[in-house]
Amino acid sequence: GESRTRREFALKVIPIRHLVKNGVEHTVRHERDVMGSIKHPSIVRLYSAFKAHDHIYFVMDLVNGLDFYWCMQNYEISEKGAKFYMSQVVLMLEYLHSRTIAYRDIKPENLIIARDGYLRMIDFGLSKFLGPGERSYTFCGTPLYLAPEVWGSGGHNRAVDFWALGVFLYEVISGSLPWEAKTEVELRTMVVSGSVTFPSGGVHGQDFSPQLKQFVTGLLEKNPNKRLGMLKEGIQGVKRVAWLREIDWPSLESRALEPPFKPDADVNPQMQDLVKIDDEDRELVPPTSRDCPKYGEYFPDF
Which is nearest to 213 in space by CA: 231, 232, 199?
199
Separation CA 203–CA 199 (nearest Å): 10
In order, the DSSP letters of 187-206 are: HHHHHHH------SS-TT-P
Catalytic one of 33, 105, 266, 281? 105
Separation CA 248–CA 88 (nearest Å): 11
Collect all residues with Cβ–Cβ distance below 8 Å to 191 and sequence separation of at least 6.
Answer: 146, 147, 148, 151, 179
Separation CA 240–CA 234 (nearest Å): 10
Cβ count near 102 (within 10 Å): 23
Separation CA 56–CA 302 (nearest Å): 9
Separation CA 288–CA 141 (nearest Å): 31
Mark whether 105 is an active-site residue: yes
Query: Is there a contact between 75 and 257 (Cβ–Cβ < 8 Å)?
Result: no
Strand order in the sheet with 119-121: 65-67, 111-114, 119-121
Collect all residues with Cβ–Cβ distance below 8 Å to 177 and sequence separation of at least 6.
Answer: 144, 167, 170, 171
Which residues are part of the catalytic machinery?
105
